[in-house]
Amino acid sequence: MTDVPDSYDPEQVEPKWQEEWRGSEIYNPEGEPDYVIDTPPPYPTGQLHLGHALGWSYMDFAARFHRLLGEEVLFPQGWDCHGLPTEVKVEEEENIHRTDVPREEFRDLCVEYTERRIDGMKETMQSLGFSQDWEAEYRTMDADYWEKTQRSFVEMADGEDDYVYRDEHPVNWCPRCETAIADAEVENIDREGTLHYITFPGVDNDDIQIATTRPELLAACVGMAVSPDDERYEDRIGDTFEVPLFGQEVELIADDDVDGDFGTGAVMICTFGDKQDVDWWAEHDLDLRPVFTEDGHLNHLAGDYEGLKIEEAKGLIADDLEAEGLLEDTEPTDQSVGACWRCDTPIEILSKEQWFVEVRQDEILEKAEQVEWIPDHMYDRLEDWTEGMEWDWVISRQRVFATPIPAWFCGNDDCEYVHVAEIGELPLDPTETDPEIDACPECGGEDWEGETDVMDTWMDSSISPMHVQGWPDEEFTPTTLREQGHDIIRTWAFYTLLRVTALEDEIPWEESLVNGMVFGDDGHKMSKSRGNAVGPEEAIEEYSADSVRQALALGGQPGSDIQFQWKEVKSASRFLTKFWNIFQFSADHFDEDTPEIDAPAYRDADKWILTKLSRTADAVEEDMAEYRFDAALRKLREFVWNDLADDYLELVKGRLYEGRPGERDAARKALYTAVSASVRMLAPFSPHFADEVYHYLPGTEGSVHAASWPDVEFADEEAAEKGDLIAEVASEIRAWKSDEGMALNADLDRVEIYSEYGREWDTYDLSEAVNAPVYPEAGEPNVELVPVGIDPDHSQIGPQFRDKAGQVIGALESADLTQLKNQKEIEGEISLTVDGEEVTIEGDAVGIEEEYRAESGEEVEVLETDRATVLVFP
């Protein structure tokens, strides 16, 4: 084989194979798949970042590995299209407000925009060599997908279980996005606020002071509260006070949840400042005085302040309190405020009529426990989040670009009937279509008003495993794997568990593999302002996709955060070069018949490398099956570099160049087996490189990704031991030559090797490797033997002597070495006096370290390895 290029050029090779794969069907499963990935449908931001690259690499490693095992793998790719950020971008780009154009037109603009974004991300995915089945691509904005979302809604609304309901209830509200949002979409941000000490004049009693960071909520004040244990207010429970500036009268109540140490120990209760207010309001049956509008202004209940923005009102009201002499003091305070995770605007809590999905914690957790979480502590996160859920999931959004809620309201103002569509009517947009039923079953009215609210996008993505499994046409069976970042456990994983449990009473996936975050080279979160952000494209261009993938695999074990390091990418690229050179050298000795070499006369070195290969393949397979990609790749690299290249290749060079046909064939066959197996094991990590090598390898047909996992059952323990001896001696002599300043191929007069294998081993390859005649010898070399120390076996001496073990070791160390040696050799045990007592130690438990010393003046060098004593005659 001489047509193998001298060097490996990923810039040319990678695009070539990507093109090849695109035109083939190797990533499309045939028939019923065995291994199904519920790929996270990313939000089409247009940019695939390294965090995505990590998650997708994990999935691709798993997909390719399972294909090599002969499984039919379904690795689809979806896109979670709907959502606010796109609406905002489109508004910016078109310079319009979404209400400026008809809903349908605005939706079309969003679709068009999303398509462009998807294309960009797809390109990066392909340049990273991911092996999705693009025939199974889906987009949640397509009608055939959101038909499923609507169907799932209808089933959950109509089913006996009745998960979906409509109600007025306080919800998180983003005043900028002007929509309700779910708990999962609220993020807490820490900031410094101002604590206002405000006097509430007493009605027929003394004044009281409260502390609040939100004076703009005075208009919404419906009560005051103190801790029941607070002695300062012991006699004042039930007293009435007047709300400053606004005049409504409120009562002081006692509640355990008041923190008496904060501010003055008295707080005002408003509708609503936070969730705590909601609790108090519900528990003490207080009035509802909502003062905020949906777009973040004050309404008529705020009197003169009507129309002001919330932030403006805060300042003005504080000023006016000051003017009235009711603002006692202000001080800075650290506060944590809920904010919209999409735009960081502080959220408000408004009481609104919305659609909800009931959260049934127990049944979600029951299913979550049946999922295998990798790493398993990720289950705890889900459990914590689930148990901490206080409110049901609000699924309606006051937006446009999302799945329409298939429901209508009776057009008769006096009738409150709400009609949910039948499954047969779907997909539909209720703002454009009337229901199939004619008359309202309650009032007989025939006019219908379509629901303009749309669904939370998590309603789309939380049925992804069902979509992937062909629901509703096919009966649902759990997918095999869900891979995702730990940041979306509380959202996507949670909602998916909720939905699949509700709809199918099944787990969505058997295994949930969680990836960590990817940090920059400096160990910090990647950010543009920090200047440590790296995109996949940049890294590919610098070193190759195959190297980036290896660097991601080796960054740490799945689940832990990893640091993106250029040096790892670089060392991966060096490994590929090394592997290429090994292959190139090997290929020189291969021909078309090499794979067919039958009954080769393997020598010890061959049996040794095959045994090592077999062990490596087993270990790597085990790691891959457990998603320990880091360990798998590390073991593979060590085998290829240390065992195959450094040791085996050096040993068999002589045989390959000058051996007799039979001897040569054995080496060629063993080498072929090792290279062929290694390249297949590398295929999940570096698929382009692997295909390139595989394609040049004789006896192969088609892609390495359609090949099978190496099945090298070779176990010759004795040959493995002898091979270790050979490799060890070769390496020791190489090191010695290096130390002596000799050329590594310098010839030697002869080498004698004394080992437990005596004369019963194969010296041919070693002799070639060290360039000297090699004489295996039994017995002891004829040189002076000097004991230099002891090597106690703590695992024997420890348990035997317990608390005396330290003294025993001490006695051994100070004993006369020659005497110890004699005792051990003659009696098989060692007797010592320890602390005035006679103790006896098994001979096995004490190793005697000895060194051979050449007689002075003799032309011989004595080298010691673990398994042998080597006499080198230069």
Of 795, 836, 837, 838, the one binding RNA (CB under 7 A) is: 795
Half-sphere CA count of 495, side-chain side, radius 13 A:
24
Q: Rounded to the nearest whole angstrom, what is the least distance from the CB of residue 134 to RNA in the complex?
A: 32
Both tokens assigned to 534: 């790296």
* Partners of residue 215 on adjacent β-strands: none
Residue 721 makes contact with RNA by CB under 7 A = no
According to the binding rule CB under 7 A, does residue 191 interact with RNA? no
User: What's the start-to-end Cα distance of the chain, in Å?
Assistant: 38
CB 653 within 8 A of CB 586: no
Our CB check for RNA shows the closer of 198 and 493 to be 493
Q: Three-state SS for 326?
A: coil
Least gap, CB of 335 to RNA (angstroms): 10
Among residues 50, 631, 772, 830, the one that binds RNA under rule CB under 7 A: 631
**Cα separation of 321 and 305, whole Å?**
13
Choice from 645, 811, 817, 863 touching RNA (CB under 7 A) = 645
Q: Which of residues 250-269 bind RNA (CB under 7 A)?
A: none
Q: Which two tokens stand for residue 422?
A: 């039948």
The residue from 581, 700, 782, 822 that contacts RNA (CB under 7 A) is 581
Cα–Cα distance for residue pair 67/705, rounded to 1 Å: 7
- CB 625, min distance to RNA, A: 15
Is 419 or 589 the residue whose CB approaches RNA more closely?
A: 589
| Among the listed residues 40, 36, 35, the one whose alpha carbon sits nearest the alpha carbon of residue 495 | 40
Q: Does 700 bind RNA (CB under 7 A)?
A: no
Q: Which stretch binds RNA (CB under 7 A): 48-56, 72-80, 376-384, 506-514?
A: 376-384
Measured distance CA(848)–CA(820) in Å, rounded:
8
Determine, following the binding rule CB under 7 A, whether residue 567 of this chain makes contact with RNA.
Answer: yes
738 lines the binding site for RNA (CB under 7 A): yes
Q: How far is the CB of 227 from RNA (least distance, A)?
A: 16
Q: Interface with RNA includes 792 (CB under 7 A)?
A: yes
Q: Which is nearer to RNA, 427 or 654 (CB)?
A: 654
Separation CA 406–CA 214 (nearest Å): 39
Binding status of residue 529 toward RNA by CB under 7 A: no
Q: Which of 188, 529, 814, 856 binds RNA (CB under 7 A)?
A: 188
Asked whether position 680 contacts RNA by CB under 7 A, the answer is: no
Contacts to RNA from residues 844-863, by CB under 7 A: 847
DSSP lists the bridge partners of residue 199 as 209
Q: 99 vs 566, which CB is nearer to RNA? A: 566
| Subset of 285-344 contacting RNA (CB under 7 A) | 336
Q: Which of 103, 309, 342, 653 lies at the binding interface for RNA (CB under 7 A)?
A: 653
CB of 492 to RNA, least distance (A): 13
In the chain, DSSP finds a helix count (H) and a strand count (E) of 25, 33
Q: Please name the residue that has the structure tokens 């909720």.
A: 498
In this complex, which beta carbon is closest to RNA, that of residue 453 or of residue 765? 765
What strand order describes the sheet that includes 393-394?
Answer: 179-181, 164-174, 348-357, 393-394
Smallest gap from residue 563 Cβ to RNA (A): 5
- To the nearest whole angstrom, how small is the minimum distance from the Cβ of residue 568 to RNA? 6
The token pair that represents 827 in the structure block: 């009696």
> Closest approach of Cβ 522 to RNA, in Å?
9
Contact yes or no for 759/734 (Cβ under 8 A): no
Measured from the Cβ of residue 105, the count of other Cβ atoms closer than 10 Å reads 13
Closer residue to RNA in complex, CB, 385/775: 385
Does 273 engage in binding with RNA (CB under 7 A)? no
Q: Give me the long-range contacts of 245-249 (CB less than 8 A, separation at least 24).
A: 245/218, 245/219, 245/317, 245/320, 245/321, 245/324, 245/326, 246/218, 246/219, 246/221, 246/302, 246/303, 248/221, 248/222, 248/289, 249/203
* Interface with RNA (CB under 7 A), residue from 155, 510, 646, 777: 646
**Does the protein bind RNA through residue 283 (CB under 7 A)?**
no
Kindly tell me the burial class for residue 133, based on how many C-beta atoms sit within 10 Å of its own C-beta (0-12, 13-18, 19 or more): buried
Q: Which amino acid is at 22?
A: R
Q: How many CA atoms lie within 13 A of 741 on its CB side?
A: 0
Nearest approach, Cβ of residue 185 and RNA (Å):
9
**DSSP labels for 842-853?**
EGGGEEEEEEEE
Q: How far is the CB of 388 from RNA (least distance, A)?
A: 5
- Measured from the CB atom, the residue of 107 and 637 that comes closer to RNA is 637
Site for RNA (CB under 7 A): which residue of 119, 168, 380, 538? 380
- Residue 204 found at the interface with RNA (CB under 7 A): no
- Only segment of 420-428, 484-492, 590-598, 690-698 that touches RNA (CB under 7 A): 484-492
Residue reference for tokens 């695939």: 48
Residue 565 touching RNA (CB under 7 A): yes
Question: Does position 369 bind RNA by CB under 7 A?
Answer: no
Of the listed pieces 434-442, 464-472, 529-537, 739-747, which binds RNA according to CB under 7 A? Answer: 739-747
Q: Binding to RNA by residue 169, rule CB under 7 A?
A: no
Residue type, 465: P
| 584, burial (CB in 10 Å: exposed 0-12, middle 13-18, buried 19+) | middle
Element at 785 (helix H, strand E): strand 784-792
**Residue placing its CB nearer to RNA in the complex, 338 or 781:** 338
Residue 649 in the binding site for RNA (CB under 7 A):
yes
Helix, strand or coil, per DSSP, at residue 150: helix
Determine if 7 is a binding residue for RNA (CB under 7 A): yes
Q: Which of 526, 562, 670, 726 is the binder for RNA (CB under 7 A)?
A: 562
Backbone phi, psi, residue 796, to 5°: -95, -50
* Residue 386-415 contact track with RNA, rule CB under 7 A, x = bound: --x---------------------------
Examine residue 486 and tell whether it contacts RNA (CB under 7 A).
yes
| Sheet containing 327-340, strands listed edge to edge, beginning at the edge strand earlier in sequence | 208-212, 186-200, 327-340
